[in-house]
């Protein structure tokens, strides 16, 4: 497969959330949903027609099939209902029923759910799967106590360091200007631990900031770098995953409780099925995106054992700084144990 085709496939695969952050869309399959007796209104940042919205489309068809048309999903794609914070507010007020969120939105629902994304802790999907399974009961209970039903998780790629200069170890970040996503609850503490210059921006501002040199370094998964067209702005990528970007699908708990037991079972079973499919597709798409980036001339910077030790030490400092802000130290230590 040519590099252009790989890039195209990776872009199409950048689904559910990350590709989503700066495009506009419109409600999808509204006519089908209008005919249903009960309609669940979901919002997503994923563009209309993207892989993320197509997952919703397939989910809607399966829900309608299983309920004989009595239940359906109406999707508002492309951020037309606002950013993650606004969508969460609309769900709490009853104007929407559900959404897909990144760690930014998850933090507004139940902060400990973001613990899996602390940099330097979980770097492989196997580690993530084991840690999430172990903490599932308490995380699920915490989300429900905040008024939401956790319908499933979506992994959005392995974060790496992309830069205009070589970054082999944390010390190389001292002279960098690093993007920090606005409203992120983890990265401020991480930036302090890195002793680097952080520049707070919303996702749509990043490309312009890279073009002008306002920032020269980002921590992001390849799938986002390709989908958001950042690849030409970088020369180097540190060849070491730093974390895994997490996302989730949530539904208003009162709205879920108002469904019939049969409808609740259908929503639970089908959302589990389609979120598992999304995770598998996104993991594959991230690998495709990585290949596309390297084929376009971005150089992988090797990390020596000594460099790796410095990154591990940095992760420990970050965990100390965010303890109490994201989760208590005991919870952070439990998750960190799965990286061994």
**Check whether domain 3-339 has CATH 3.40.190.170, yes or no:** yes
Residues of the chain with pLDDT under 50: 1-34
pLDDT for 54 equals 81
- What lies within 8 Å, CB to CB, of 64 at 6+ separation is 32, 36, 71, 72
**Sequence-ordered strand ranges (E) for 185-233:** 197-201, 217-220
pLDDT for 36 equals 55
Nearest by Cα to 63 from 310, 324, 269, 255: 269
pLDDT for 311 equals 94
pLDDT for 13 equals 42
Domain ranges of the chain: 3-339
| Residue 98 CA: distances (Å) to CA of 17, 106, 216, 283 | 14, 12, 36, 24
pLDDT for 65 equals 95
Nearest by Cα to 102 from 44, 56, 143: 44
Contact 173, 155 (CB under 8 A): no
Q: pLDDT for 149-191, tens place per residue?
A: 999 998 889 999 999 999 999 999 999 999 998 878 888 888 8
Q: How many CA atoms lie within 13 A of 135 on its CB side?
A: 24
- What lies within 8 Å, CB to CB, of 104 at 6+ separation is 84, 85, 181, 183, 184, 185
Contact 298, 236 (CB under 8 A): yes
pTM of the model: 0.80
């Amino acid at each position: 497969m040519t590099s252009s085709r790989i890039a195209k496939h990776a872009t199409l695969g950048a689904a559910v959330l990350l590709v989503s952050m700066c495009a506009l869309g419109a409600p999808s399959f509204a006519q089908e949903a209008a005919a249903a007796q009960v309609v669940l209104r979901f919002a997503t940042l994923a563009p209309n027609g993207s892989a993320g919205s197509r997952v919703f489309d397939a989910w809607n068809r399966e829900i309608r099939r299983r309920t004989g048309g009595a239940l359906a999903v109406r999707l508002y794609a492309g951020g037309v209902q606002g950013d993650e914070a606004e969508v969460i507010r609309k769900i709490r007020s009853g104007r929407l029923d559900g959404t897909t969120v990144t760690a930014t939105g998850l933090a507004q629902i139940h902060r400990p759910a973001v613990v899996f994304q602390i940099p330097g802790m979980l770097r492989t999907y196997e580690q993530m799967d084991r840690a999430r399974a172990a903490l599932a009961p308490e995380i699920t209970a915490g989300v429900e106590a905040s008024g939401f039903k956790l319908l499933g998780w979506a992994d959005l790629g392995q974060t790496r360091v992309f830069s205009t200069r070589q970054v082999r170890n944390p010390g190389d970040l001292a002279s960098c200007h690093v993007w920090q996503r606005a409203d992120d609850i983890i990265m401020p503490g991480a930036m302090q631990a890195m002793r680097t210059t952080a520049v707070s921006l919303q996702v749509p501002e990043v490309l312009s900031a890279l073009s002008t040199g306002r920032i020269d370094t980002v921590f992001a998964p390849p799938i986002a770098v390709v989908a958001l067209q950042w690849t030409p702005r970088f020369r180097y990528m540190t060849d070491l995953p730093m974390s895994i970007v997490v996302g989730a699908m949530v539904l208003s708990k009162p709205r879920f409780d108002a469904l019939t037991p049969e409808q609740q079972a259908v929503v639970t079973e089908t959302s589990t099925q389609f979120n598992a499919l999304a995770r598998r597709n996104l993991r594959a798409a991230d690998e495709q995106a990585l290949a596309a980036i390297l084929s376009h001339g971005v150089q992988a910077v090797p990390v020596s054992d000594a460099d790796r030790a410095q990154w591990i030490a940095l992760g420990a400092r970050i965990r100390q700084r965010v303890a109490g802000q994201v989760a208590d130290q005991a919870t952070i230590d439990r998750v960190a144990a799965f990286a061994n």
